[in-house]
């Protein structure tokens, strides 16, 4: 596949590569140069993909029956009551 760099240093990614690598409008690419001078462009994960990767990572350290979200809510309610807020 051959592409041409425009006057604004823009390059069009071939459609089949964009589909295969899930590159869409807004996808960021990390550019680097290999020792032999070859350019490399690596698609960076978007926020949604990063959030999906992080989801549930800490579960392995929870004990059975632990509910950290409920504990956090209870703590905030107690803090609000201590401050006299409704």
Tens digit of pLDDT at every position of the chain (86 positions): 899 999 999 999 999 999 999 999 999 999 999 999 999 999 999 888 888 888 888 888 888 888 989 999 999 999 999 988 76
pLDDT at 84: 84
Q: What is the pTM of this model?
A: 0.56
Which residue has tokens 């459609």?
Answer: 15
Q: How many domains does the chain have?
A: 1
**How far, in Å, are 40, 53, 58, 76 from residue 63 at the CA level?**
44, 22, 11, 22
Task: Write out the two tokens for 15.
Answer: 């459609």
Would you say residue 30 lies in a domain?
yes
Would you say residue 37 lies in a domain?
yes
Would you say residue 25 lies in a domain?
yes
**How many whole angstroms separate alpha carbon 1 and alpha carbon 17?**
10
Would you say residue 3 lies in a domain?
no
Instruction: Provide the domain limits for residue 30.
Output: 15-83
Would you say residue 4 lies in a domain?
no
Would you say residue 5 lies in a domain?
no
């Amino acid at each position: 596949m051959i592409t041409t760099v425009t006057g604004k240093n823009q390059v069009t990614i071939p459609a089949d590569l964009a589909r295969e690598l899930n590159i869409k409008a807004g996808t960021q690419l990390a550019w680097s140069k290999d020792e032999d001078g070859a350019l490399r462009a690596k698609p960076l994960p978007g926020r949604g993909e990063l959030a999906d990767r992080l989801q549930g990572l800490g579960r392995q350290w929870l004990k059975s029956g632990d509910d950290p979200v409920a504990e956090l809510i209870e703590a905030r309610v107690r803090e609000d009551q201590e401050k006299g807020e409704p």
